[in-house]
Structure 1
Amino acid sequence: MPHIAIQYSRNLEARLDMAALCRVLRDAAVETGVFPPAGIRVRAFAADHVLIADGNPDHGFIDISVRLRGGRSAADKRRATAHIFAAAEGFCAEDLAANSLMLSLEMRDIDPDLSPKTSSIRRFLPEDMH
């Protein structure tokens, strides 16, 4: 794992390619070396109803949530957080420079005792992705 969930204001679909952002974040997660590629899941959800700051409909937001199974060191989590956020900032750089955009990321642990998992995906992936 991690689960990377992106919530964003729907008005950004005219400004940013959200499928490309998913790929950028997946690639950044792999680059950290902290997460096995077979466990990375990235998804994005548009918020249809938002009210940001003064209510100007041109304001946009992207909120990235990274949830991962407990057990990684604090240093690894800090490094992964910084790397993934830098990738998101780089992806959004032009929009941040030209428009009103709020970008945030939060990484948090999932208690493995309270989050059972099963998966068959590794059987369908190349060996180097396990």
Structure 2
Amino acid sequence: MPHAWIECSANIVDEPEVQQLKQRIYDAALQTGIFPLGGVRVRFQVITDYIVGDGDPANSFVHVVLRIGAGRDLETRKAAADRVFEQVCELLKPLHDRRPLAVAFEVQEMSADLNYKFNNLHEYINQRAGSR
């Protein structure tokens, strides 16, 4: 973990800041130092059917959900969330300055009891790292 879901309104998908968002979130998650490389997943989805605010077609949005595994204390979770959100805001500030933009970010902790894994990525990542 973490798994990040990014949604953005279609009217901003070609903006350079939005094009960089996947990588920025990926990098920020790893920079927290609490997430294993093999657990990071970043998904990006363009939403074409939406209404934002007063319905003006210039209004736009980015919504990020970061789902993390259970077991970290609140201080650790908050520090990681602050780091990722800070990076999202830093990246999107120029877009925010140019047009109406709503940015939402939330962290969800997954249930320790109902979170199942079938994952061999860690083994493959370690193999590739060893062959370099």
TM-score (norm 1): 0.92
Deviation, structure 1 residue 16 = 3.6
Tell me the secondary structure at the aligned position of residue 57 of structure 1: coil
Secondary structure, aligned partner of 1:114: coil
* DSSP 3-state at the match of 2:6: strand
Over 6 Å off, 4+ runs? none
* 1:5 matched residue in structure 2: 5
Which residue identity does 1:105 align to in structure 2?
A: F
What is the letter of the counterpart of residue 86 of structure 2? A
User: How far did 1:22 drift?
Assistant: 0.6
1:66-103 per-position Cα deviation (integer Å, ceiling 9, x unaligned): 11111011001110111000100111010011110001
What's the CA shift for 1:57? 0.8
Q: Counterpart in 1 of 2:32?
A: 32
Is 1:107 equivalent to 2:111 in the alignment? Answer: no
Question: Does residue 90 of the first structure (1) align with residue 90 of the second (2)?
Answer: yes
CA RMSD of aligned residues (A): 1.7
Asked whether the equivalents of residues 32 and 80 of structure 2 are also in contact (C-alpha less than 8 Å), the reply is: yes
| SS at structure 1 position matched to 2:56 | coil
Unaligned runs of 5+ in 2: none
**Aligned match of 1:78:** 78
In 2, the alpha carbon distance for the partners of 1:116 and 1:59 equals: 38
Output the CA distance in 1 between the equivalents of 2:104 and 2:16: 16
Q: How many residues align?
A: 129
Return the alpha-carbon distance in structure 2 between the equivalents of residues 123 and 19 of structure 1. 30
> How far apart, CA to CA, are the structure 1 residues paired with 2:69 and 2:95?
32
CA contact (8 A) 1:7 1:64 kept: yes
Look up the match of 1:23.
23
CA displacement, residues 13-35 of structure 1 (integer Å, 9 cap, x when unaligned):
13245442111001000111121
Work out whether residues 18 and 44 of structure 1, in 8 Å CA contact, stay in contact via their aligned partners in 2. no
1:36 to partner: Cα distance: 1.1
CA distance in 1 between counterparts of 2:66 and 2:115 reads: 15
Secondary structure, in 3 states, of the residue corresponding to 2:58? coil
Secondary structure of 1:103 counterpart: strand
Identity of aligned residues (%): 25
